[in-house]
Amino acid sequence: MAHMCLWCMRAFESREALHLHNENTGRHRLWCGRCEEFFASDDDKAYHINHSSNHFICPRCFADLTSYQALNDHLRKKHHLCFFCELYSSSAEEALEHAVDLHYYCPDCNKYYSDRGALVRHRASHEQTAVQCPRCHHDFRFFSGMVHHLEHNICSVDTEEVRVYELAVRSNVSARCVLPESQGALERYYCESCGRKFMHLSGLCQHAENTAGCMQLAVGNGVLVLLRKVLETALEGTRSGF
């Protein structure tokens, strides 16, 4: 059965060949492949696209999406739209910070909570697996507790705070959490989300664990997750000195 192009009266062996012909022939710009219709003018085709139930137009970049869900996904992923307040963010990181800080969003389980306290209590549930000191193997509920244990020489295997600091400085994420020495020795670390400075790494960790807008540091590929791997690798199995 031949498939006829009604615009130029050419016959094609398959429907796919006809579609390819219509979509790639310049004079057939008035063809809508999705709806399989020709239009009399550019204005008629534009009206069709803007009012058809088969076309979902992005208000930011005018991309033509195939469904309402596809449009929503496009707005969220490409334009970083917050559907609660209809605010566009400039980056995925900014959109995540907005969602966590203002809408109490947990990025680990893709859920929203009623208030900041509920989010913080929920975030604690992600830390139920014990964090183990890589030197003495004592268990801690939070990473900040384990780091405090190392920094303040509480570990039964002798550890000095300065060595924890040196490991952080030598890590490949130091620029994201360690202050340059020129900014003073008292405050060695900083939060890359809010800029707050800390004397101890454990203070930065505790801040990230309990501050909604900065929790991304301690989840996924956050800087503190990466730094935890550095510390565990460097200290695993050491029983004296570094």
Q: What is the pLDDT of residues 94-125, one digit of tens each?
A: 999 999 999 999 988 899 998 887 887 787 67
Whether residues 190 and 205 share a domain: the answer is yes
Q: How far apart are CA 59 and CA 197, in angstroms?
A: 40
Whether residues 140 and 218 share a domain: the answer is yes
Whether residues 227 and 165 share a domain: the answer is yes
Whether residues 102 and 176 share a domain: the answer is no
Do the strands 87-88 and 105-106 form a parallel or antiparallel pair, or are they unpaired?
Answer: unpaired
Task: State the 10-residue block means of pLDDT for the chain, 242 residues long.
Answer: 73 80 74 84 91 94 94 95 94 92 90 85 68 86 89 75 82 92 77 94 91 82 91 71 40
pLDDT of residue 68: 94
pLDDT of residue 182: 60
Whether residues 116 and 165 share a domain: the answer is no
102 HSE (CA, 13 A, CB side): 12
Q: Is residue 202 part of a domain?
A: yes
Residues with Cβ within 8 Å of residue 56, at least 6 apart in sequence: 64, 65, 66, 67, 68, 70, 71
Q: Is residue 143 part of a domain?
A: yes
pLDDT of residue 130: 67
**pTM for the full predicted model:** 0.50
Question: Degrees (nearest 5) of the Cα angle 16, 20, 24?
Answer: 175
Whether residues 158 and 227 share a domain: the answer is yes
Whether residues 138 and 203 share a domain: the answer is yes
Domain containing residue 107? 74-125
What is the tally of structural domains in the chain? 2
Whether residues 95 and 150 share a domain: the answer is no
Whether residues 92 and 168 share a domain: the answer is no
Q: How far apart are CA 153 and CA 167, in angstroms?
A: 16
